[in-house]
Structures are given as structure tokens and as C-alpha cells.
């Protein structure tokens, strides 16, 4: 089982560039979400989705865009990268709490550096 797959694992961008972090899951999970992890701040929710075609903002959505055209894929777009977006990004997916434990399954993370 592949689980949650994120690409790329590492990326260096210049300020102002745009890019997309890809996330795919093969567990038929309804819920998907993106987090960023910064030292001392834990995991902060950027955007989440409860199903194909439905997305919503999390705690720190500014500067990021998402879409969910299929159950499997949930890409995260950085529109115009800024140094403050230097972080480790995690994609996660889960069943709803009615179908399972609600446990989040995480990808391996993508380390992004913005110069």
C-alpha cells in the first residue's frame, strides 16, 4: 500500500515563484488536509477537504490555494512564494470518524525553502 504520497520531498524556490505540492492517497479516504510544521509551532492546518469538490480554509490559509477534483488527489499551490513559507509541509488523509478512528495518515513531508 502506498498510503499518502507527497512530491516533491525537497524544493528550493526564489521569492515570487509559484509551485504545486502534490498529494495523493490510495485508501479511499474522504478527508484530506495540508499542514505546515515550523519549529515551536507544531502542525498548523492550511486547508482541508471533506470530499471531492469541497475545500475549506484552516488556520493559516493565506498564500496557498487548493482544489480537490478527485477523491485521491489534493494539491497545494503556492501562488507567489515568500520566505515566510519556508517550512515542512505534510499532507494527511483520514476516514470520517463514523467510518474509522478519524486517525490521520500522513505523507512523509515536503521540505520547502524559499530564498
Binding site for another protein (CB under 8 A): 30-31, 33, 35, 40-45, 48, 50, 56, 58-59, 88, 90, 92, 94, 96-97, 101-106, 108-109
Decide whether 8 or 102 has the Cβ nearer to another protein.
102
Please state, in angstroms and rounded to a whole number, the distance separating the CA atoms of residues 21 and 76: 5
Taking the complex as a whole, the smallest distance from the CB of residue 26 to another protein amounts, in Å, to: 18
CB 105 within 8 A of CB 3: yes
Q: How many residues does the chain have?
A: 115
Q: Smaller CB distance to another protein: residue 26 or 59?
A: 59
Question: Which residue's CB is nearer to another protein, number 45 or number 52?
Answer: 45
Query: Which has the closest alpha carbon to 92: 52, 32, 3, 47?
Result: 32
Amino acid at each position: 500500500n502506498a498510503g499518502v504520497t507527497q512530491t516533491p520531498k525537497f524544493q528550493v524556490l526564489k521569492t515570487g515563484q509559484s509551485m504545486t505540492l502534490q498529494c495523493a492517497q490510495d485508501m479511499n479516504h474522504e478527508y484530506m488536509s495540508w499542514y505546515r510544521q515550523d519549529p515551536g509551532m507544531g502542525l498548523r492546518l492550511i486547508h482541508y477537504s471533506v470530499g471531492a469538490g469541497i475545500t475549506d480554509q484552516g488556520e493559516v490559509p493565506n498564500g496557498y490555494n487548493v482544489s480537490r477534483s478527485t477523491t485521491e488527489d489534493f494539491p497545494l499551490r503556492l501562488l507567489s512564494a515568500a520566505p515566510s513559507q519556508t517550512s515542512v509541509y505534510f499532507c494527511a488523509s483520514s476516514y470520517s470518524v463514523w467510518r474509522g478512528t478519524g486517525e490521520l495518515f500522513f505523507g512523509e513531508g515536503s521540505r520547502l525553502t524559499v530564498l
